[in-house]
Structure 1
Amino acid sequence: MEFALGICIIAFLSLVALAFYYEHPKAEIPQGVDQPIKLYIVHYIVNLVFGLGRIFEKLGICKEVYLIRTFLYGIPPWKNTKLFIKDLEFANVSVRVYQPKMPSAGLRTGVLYLHGGIGQIGSIRMYERVCRFIARESDSVVVCVGYRLAPEHPYPTQFWDCLATARHFMMTAEDYGVDSARIIICGDSSGGTLTAAVCQALVSRTDLPKPRAQIMLYPFLQALDFNLPSYQQNGSVPLLLRNRAVALGLQYLNKDLSLMKGILEGSHVPKDLKLKFGKWLSPDNIPVEFKTRGYKLHVPSSYSEELHTMAKQAFEMTFFPLLAEDAIVCQLPEAFILTCEYDVVRDDGLLYKKRLEDNGVPVTWYHAENGFHGMLFLIDYGVVSFPCGKRAMGSVVNFIKGL
C-alpha cells in the first residue's frame, strides 16, 4: 500500500515537473506592478495548467484547451441575496441574466458582457464574479453571453453569437426592466475585440436602438504589429505573454503555430496595407510617456505572400477592429477604455482611443499604472484579488452609473 502510494506521488510530481518544463517562459515581474509576489504565484499556477494541458493532449487524454477551461471555471460564489440570476437563451445563445432585487424607480441600464478567453477558454461561470460585481455595484441589469467556443465552433461563430444576442437584448430590453436606449456593450481582452466589432456592425442598423456606450477592458484590437512599445516592454509580463497571445490567436483562427515566427516579425503584412493603415497603427501615435521604459523601432522582415494568404483572417474587422474605416468609427457610441501599464495589448487600447477621439467620439480613459492583463478576472476573490483590479472596476461602475 505504502509502495503504491509512493509510486503515485512520484508519478504526480514527475508530471508536474514535466508540465512546467513544457510551459517555462521566464516571466518578468516589474517592481511597479501591483503585488508582484502574488502575481508570480498566479503566473506559476497558470503555466502549470498550460503545461499539464499540453501533456494530456500528447498522451491522448484530452485536448489542451479542455483542461484549461476546466481549471479556469473558477470557484462558484455564494448565493447572492441582492440579485435575481437566471439562465436563459437569447437567439439560441446561452446567457445568464443578473437583475438587482431592489425595486427601481424606472427602467435600468443594461450591460451586455462579452467575456474574454481568446474565443476558446472563457465561460459564463468563469466571469460569474465579474458580472455579479457590475450588476450589484452599478444597479444595472447584466447579461453575460455564453457564446460558443472554438475549436468546436470555428471563428467567427463567436462574433455572430454576440451580435445575435445584442440584437435580441435590444429588442426585448423592457422585458428585463432595461431601457433600450441605455444598453452598453462591454468586454475584456478578446471580449473587448468582440465589443468593438459588434458596435461597428450595429452602426448600419436602422431597425435597432443604438448602443448607449461601449466599454473595452484591456482589449486586443489588432494583429498587424506585435512590436509596438507595449509588446516590447511587456512581452514577458504575466498574465498574457507576447508569444502566448499570438499562439492563442492563431489557434482561435485554426491556423498552424508554424506561422507564429513570421507574424511576430510582421512578414504577413503587404506594403499596400502598411501604407493604408500606417496613419492609424503607428508607434508615433503612442504618447512619449509610454516609451520611457524602452522602445526600439522594429524593421519588419521581408513580406511573404504565402504567409499573408494563410493569415488573411487576421485582417478581418471582426478580429482587427482597430482598422475600421473612419466612416464607421465616427458613428460609434461613447466609449470607456481601460489600459494597463504592464500589458502587452496596452497600446491597442491607446491607439483605438486616439482613433475614436480623432473621429469625435467621446472617450473616458482609465489607465491602471500598476495593472496587468487579466487583473479583473480575480475580482471578488478575497485575498486572491488584486487592489488594482478593484480600483479599475470601480471606475467602470462609476462610468455606467454616470450614463
Structure 2
Amino acid sequence: MEDRLHPELKSMFAGLPEVIYTRGNLEEKRMEMQQFAAAMAATLPVHEGVLTSERYIPCVADGPDVRIKIYEPREKKGALPGLLYIHGGGYILGSADMMDPAMKQMVSELECIIVSVDYRLAPEHPYPAPLEDCYAALKWFADHAEQLGGDNSRIAVMGPSAGGGLTAALSLLARDRQGPAIMFQMPLYPMIDDRMVTPSSQTITDDRVWSKAKTELAWSLYLGEREDGAISPYAAPARATDLSGLPPTYICVGDLDPFRDETIEYVTRLAEAGVPTEFHLYPGCFHGFEEYVPGAEISQRAVNEYKTALKQALHK
C-alpha cells in the first residue's frame, strides 16, 4: 500500500500503529477515538461567535429520546440554511461530541445552523436504530427550523464513512416516507454496501487504516440478526434499486479506500437516475485521510472542495 500512497501522506502513514477491532475491545477503541478527536480539536481555532446547545428529542420509532447538538451563530442575519451532520465510525464508534470544534468552524465558514445527531451505536443498537435516530433529528430540525432562525426549505445532510452511509440511507428514507425535504446530500466516502464484493473492499487490508477486516466486523455488528437474511436498502443503500428523486449530491473518496468501488458505482447510478451529482476521487488517499493528515495540501484541497460545494448548495 505504501507504494501507492500520495507523497504527502507517506511519512505520517509510516508512523501509524495497526488497530484491530473486535467485539470485546469496542469500548476501549471508542475511548481511543475520542482521545484522537480531542487531539485533533486542539489544533483548530476557537470560534467564540458560535453558540452550542444540546437537547433530547422524541424518537420517531419506538426508542429512547435522541440526543442532538445544535450549533448556531450568535448573530443571525435573516433565516439561515440548515445542515444535519451525522458522524462517522463504522456504525460502531464515534459521537457527536467529538465533532464540536469542526462543527463550530463549519458554522462560521458556511453561515448556517448545524444539528449534529448523537445516534445510537451497534452492536448495542443495530439497524434500524441509528437510522431512526437520524430521521428523528431530521424531522425535528425541519419542524423547529424557524424557531432556530433557520429555513426548513434549505436543509442539507452530510456525514463521512458510516455517517455517509446514514446520509444516503436517510435521503432514501425521507423520500419514501414523504418526510422532510432534503435539499442536498453529501455522503463522504460512504459505507453503503454490506456485500463486500468489489476489488477495493477485498484488497485494502492494511489495519493501520480502515480495512477489510474492520468493514466485515462493522457490518456484522450493524446488521445484527439480519446479516444472514434480507438486507434493506435503508441499511445498505447500495442495494437500493431506485435512486431517482434523491437530492443533488456531492461525494468524494480516496482511491485507497475500501469503499472506493461501491462509491463509484453509487455515483454512476445516481447520474443514470438523473440526480445532479459531483464526484471527486483523490489519488493515493486512504479512508479518512483528511482527518488523519489535515495539514497535507491534498487534505486541505479535499476539505475546501466539499465545503465550497456545500456553501454553494446552502446559499443558492
TM class by shorter chain equals 0.7 to 0.9
SS in 1 for 2:145: helix
Q: Letter of the aligned partner of 1:367 in structure 2?
A: L
Match in the other structure for 2:52: 85
Note closer, same or farther for the CA distance 1:310–1:110 as it changes in structure 2 (3 Å cut). Answer: closer
CA contact (8 A) 1:233 1:344 kept: yes
Q: Does 1:354 align with 2:268?
A: yes
Shift of 1:81: 1.0
Q: Does 1:336 align with 2:250?
A: yes
Q: Letter of the aligned partner of 1:393 in structure 2?
A: V
Match in the other structure for 1:366: 280
Distance 2:127 2:176 in 1: 22
Distance 2:174 2:47 in 1: 34
Distance 1:346 1:123 in 2: 24
Q: Does 1:153 align with 2:125?
A: yes
CA contact (8 A) 1:203 1:331 kept: yes
Q: Does 1:247 align with 2:217?
A: yes
Match in the other structure for 1:101: 74
Shift of 1:88: 1.8
Match in the other structure for 1:223: 194
Q: Does 1:214 align with 2:185?
A: yes
SS in 2 for 1:246: helix
For 1:172-187, what aligned pairs fall within 5 Å after superposition?
172-187=144-159
Distance 2:288 2:229 in 1: 28
SS in 2 for 1:397: helix
Q: Letter of the aligned partner of 2:217 in structure 1?
A: A
Shift of 1:199: 0.7
CA contact (8 A) 2:220 2:227 kept: no
SS in 2 for 1:253: helix
Residue by residue over 1:265-322, the C-alpha shift from the partner in whole angstroms, topping out at 9 and shown as x without a partner, is: xxxxxxxxxxxxxxxxxxxxxxxxxxxxxxxxxxxxxxxxxxxx85225x22122111
SS in 1 for 2:176: coil
Residue by residue over 1:8-47, the C-alpha shift from the partner in whole angstroms, topping out at 9 and shown as x without a partner, is: xxxxxxxxxxxxxxxxxxxx323432421212323x0x52
Residue by residue over 1:57-79, the C-alpha shift from the partner in whole angstroms, topping out at 9 and shown as x without a partner, is: 8xxxxx41111111111315475
Q: Does 1:401 align with 2:315?
A: no
Note closer, same or farther for the CA distance 1:199–1:233 as it changes in structure 2 (3 Å cut). Answer: same
Shift of 1:356: 0.7
The alignment covers a number of residue pairs equal to: 300
Residue by residue over 1:213-238, the C-alpha shift from the partner in whole angstroms, topping out at 9 and shown as x without a partner, is: 11010001112243x23235533374
Distance 2:27 2:80 in 1: 37
Which structure has greater strand proportion?
2
Distance 1:221 1:244 in 2: 14
CA contact (8 A) 1:378 1:386 kept: no
Distance 1:152 1:320 in 2: 19
Partner residue of 2:238 out of 309, 312, 322: 322
- Per the normalisation by structure 2, the TM-score is 0.86
CA contact (8 A) 2:168 2:237 kept: yes
Superposition CA RMSD, Å: 2.3
Q: Letter of the aligned partner of 2:219 in structure 1?
A: G
Residue by residue over 1:60-106, the C-alpha shift from the partner in whole angstroms, topping out at 9 and shown as x without a partner, is: xxx411111111113154753131111222332111111123432x2
Note closer, same or farther for the CA distance 1:157–1:232 as it changes in structure 2 (3 Å cut). Answer: closer
The runs of 5 or more residues in structure 1 that have no matched partner are 1-27, 58-62, 256-308
| Rg (Cα) greater in structure | 1
Q: Letter of the aligned partner of 1:321 in structure 2?
A: P
SS in 1 for 2:151: strand
CA contact (8 A) 2:196 2:202 kept: no
Distance 1:237 1:69 in 2: 16
For 1:9-158, what aligned pairs fall within 5 Å after superposition?
28-33=1-6, 34-42=8-16, 44=17, 47=19, 50=20, 63-73=24-34, 74-75=37-38, 77=42, 79-91=46-58, 92-104=65-77, 106-158=78-130
Q: Letter of the aligned partner of 1:311 in structure 2?
A: D
Note closer, same or farther for the CA distance 1:396–1:218 as it changes in structure 2 (3 Å cut). Answer: same
Shift of 1:374: 1.7
Note closer, same or farther for the CA distance 1:89–1:387 as it changes in structure 2 (3 Å cut). Answer: farther
Distance 1:350 1:238 in 2: 24
Distance 1:154 1:237 in 2: 24
Distance 1:388 1:157 in 2: 35
Note closer, same or farther for the CA distance 1:161–1:359 as it changes in structure 2 (3 Å cut). Answer: same
CA contact (8 A) 2:212 2:258 kept: yes
Shift of 1:186: 0.8
Q: Alignment identity in percent?
A: 26
Partner residue of 1:199 out of 140, 156, 171: 171
Match in the other structure for 2:62: none
Q: 1 or 2 for the larger relative contact order (CA 8 Å, sep ≥6)?
A: 2
Residue by residue over 1:142-171, the C-alpha shift from the partner in whole angstroms, topping out at 9 and shown as x without a partner, is: 111101112222332111111111111111
CA contact (8 A) 1:366 1:395 kept: no
